[in-house]
Structure formats: C-alpha cells, structure tokens
Homo-oligomer: A and B are copies of this chain.
C-alpha cells in the first residue's frame, strides 16, 4: 500500500511507468535508509514525539530490516512504490502505532536524500581507497622502470626519449589530483539534509543537530530548499569527479592497447588477461582494456544524464529527480570496477625493456643535439635550424 493512498486507485500503467526500476535500486539503499531512520527515531524520542519503548522497538526492528536486506529477504513490492514505503509498511505491520509515527516531521524527500548521502559517503570512501591502491601500483611501476628508456610521443610521432617509469608516474600524479576532486565532492556531500522534510521544513520542533551528530555528518544543511535543490546536483558533482578518474584510465588503457601492439611491443599483457576470437585462431585481445575505455563513456553519460534532468527544473522536488539515482549507482559501480581492474592489469603487465630501448631511434635525440650546440654558444633557434636540416 502506498503511503498517500486514499480512495482513487492509481492507473496500473501509470504505476508501472512511475515506479520503474526504483524498488530494485532501493534495495541497495535499505541499510542507509534504516541507519537514517534509526537516527530519526532517536531524535523523535529526544524531542518527546516517540516514547522510549516505541523508540527502542523501532530501532530494533530497523536493525532487523537491515539483516533481512543483507540476506536478500527484504522485499520491496511494486505496490510499495519504493523502499521508504516498504520500510514504513513493515514497521506498521510489526509495531502498529509506533510504526505510524516514524514518518513524523520528515518526508520521503529528505529521507531519500539522507540515504543517498550516506550511501555516497561510503562509495566515495571506497573510491578513494581503491584509487589510492592504484596510485601505489603506479608509483611502484615508476620506481621499477625508472631506467627503461623508450620514445616519448607528440602528435603520435616519436618525439624525445623518456622512461617507462616516468610514463607510469604521470598517471599516479594525475590520479592524485583527481582525488582532490573526489575529496571536494565528498565534503560537499557530507551535510545532513534530514529534517528538511519536503524542502520547506516542518512546524514540529525537531533537533537537526542531534541527527547530524548521530549520523556523523560534518555539518547540517540548514537551508531546507537547498537540500531539495541539491538532489541531482550533488550526484552530478560526484559523477563529474568520477569522470576525471575514468578520463585518466581510458587514456592509460588507450596507451596500453597501443604500446602492446606488435608494431610497438613495449608492453605485454599476460595471457590470462586476454580473450580470443570466435573465428581467428591466433587472436589474443586486450578486451579488458577496451572495456576500461568504454566505461569512461558509460560513466560520463551518467554525469550527463543527471545534468540533463536538472536543466529547466524550477526549485523544489520533482519526480524527475528519481532518474538521477540509477546513474549515480551505475557511475560508482563502473568506476570502482574499473579502478580495481586497472590495478590488476598493471600488476601483470610486462615491460619489454629491449624493445623500448631499440625504439629510441636516432631522430628522437635531435632536440638534444640542438641543446648541445646551445651549450657551445649557438642561439637555440639557430641550433634548431642547423639540426633540422638533416630531417
């Protein structure tokens, strides 16, 4: 049963269209939704809306829902509309009047915001941890291959000598800067919207400082309307940070596919990371790296979807915002999987130092030769012109 249902029944086709895949997505949010509800219940008790006994039994039952969800035994029926409703219906079924009180002074609007913030906080932490691991891996390769020279390219043409170690180091440094963006997104995400209700507060005297403390938020999001207006916006901020990580990784993947072509031979992927062809018996394909590249497109599209949905919406909650939930979750999922798989791929990558060295053909030292002339006092542009005559 829906929370707002009265006489009229919602047309089943409208119900199907509006509910969409929300119940499925909400399953991942159940633990966060319950955690937020537990804080809300404790606060309602502190301000005298719930009795101590009611609060205790609600907290206990919310804990049980988390357990059920973990074991795949908590169901969100389409007729429930969403996870919030399924939770309230469960509490009413089990606890009667206490269950009917749990939604006092909150709306599903701030309830889902809170659950998403807690979920995003966890996922952002996870992203930072996984990325830090990848940075360590890259720094390991930086040290390991510090003396392996190979050609640096500009315009896809051999340019000047570089080292494989420094090549990998460039990505470590780039990801480190990306983490500054992830951190900025995490700080913006880390504010408590619980108690802003539908975006306009309530007349019930609640204690938002208490829920802020209980949920471990760094600060309270005071403006009720801003809380609502940040739905989708925070998602886009997060996805834009994730896109930067993915932008780096697609470049790294692109390079690795190229450098491991037999025409270059600088690198090799272990066979256990390669897939074959259904028609060509000889093929060993770097599918894993190709999917890293493609997943950038997927995560970037998640960002674009959230922004596109926000464009043109007036202030306040709109159901449009529901469709920012799926891209957020998909974006986290693809990014995390990609960061981890790149770590794995790099753990197995083999550098062919000899091929690297042999590829450093004469012409890539042309600039160095000009610098030699400079050291003998020739102005750089003249030195350049003199050397360039050979090419």
Find chain B residues with CB under 8 A from A174 CB. 226, 229-230, 233
Which B residues lie within 8 Å of A364 (CB)? Answer: 282
A167 to B228, CA, bound (A): 12
Contact partner of A380 (CB less than 8 A), chosen from B101, B282, B302, is B101
Contact of A9 with B272 in the complex, beta carbons under 8 Å:
yes
Q: Give the residues in chain B near A363, CB-CB below 8 Å.
A: 282
Encode contact with B along A77-114: 1 for CB under 8 Å, 0 otherwise. Answer: 00000001100100010000111111111111100000
Q: Which residue from chain B places its CB closest to the CB of A13 in the assembled complex?
A: B344
Q: Which residues of B contact A286 (CB under 8 A)?
A: 155-157
Indicate whether A305 reaches chain B with its CB closer than 8 angstroms: yes
**Contacts A278-B103, A301-B304, A319-B291: A313 and B251 contacting too (C-beta < 8 A)?**
yes
Interface string of A222-239 (1 = CB under 8 A from B): 111110111001001100
A367 to B105 CA separation, bound complex (whole angstroms): 9
A9-B283 Cα distance, complex, nearest whole Å: 15
Q: In the assembled complex, which residues on chain B have CB atoms less than 8 Å from the CB atom of A126?
A: none
Count copies of this chain in the complex. Answer: 4
Segment 291-349 of A: residues with Cβ below 8 Å from B = 291, 293-298, 300-302, 304-323, 327, 337-338, 340-341, 344-345
Q: Is A130 an interface residue (CB 8 A)?
A: no
Which residues in B have their C-beta under 8 angstroms from that of A198?
A: 152, 154, 159-160, 277, 279-280, 367
Q: How many positions in chain A have a CB within 8 Å of any CB in the partner chain? A: 169
Q: In this complex, which of A106, A307, A375 has the most chain B Cβ atoms within 10 angstroms of its Cβ?
A: A307
A351 at the interface (CB under 8 A from B): no
Query: A71 contacts which chain B residues (CB < 8 A)?
Result: none
A340-391 contacts to B (CB < 8 Å): 340-341, 344-345, 363-364, 366-371, 374-375, 379-382, 384-385, 387-391
CB nearest neighbor in B for A273:
B14
Closest residue of chain B to A262 (Cβ to Cβ) is B158
Report the minimal beta-carbon distance from A78 to chain B, rounded to whole angstroms. Answer: 13
- Interchain CB contact under 8 A, B160 and A280: yes
Chain A: interface secondary structure?
helix
Chain B residues positioned under 8 Å from A278 (CB to CB): 3-4, 84-85, 103, 107-108
Residues of chain B with a CB closer than 8 A to A184's CB: 180-181, 183-184
10 closest A-B pairs (Cβ-Cβ)?
A: A312-B312, A4-B276, A281-B388, A100-B379, A297-B308, A301-B305, A170-B225, A152-B200, A290-B319, A100-B381
- Excluding A104-B374, A296-B311, 18 further A-B contacts by CB distance (< 8 Å) are A4-B388, A8-B272, A17-B337, A85-B278, A101-B374, A104-B371, A109-B279, A154-B316, A155-B290, A155-B316, A157-B286, A170-B226, A279-B370, A284-B391, A294-B323, A297-B320, A298-B305, A308-B311
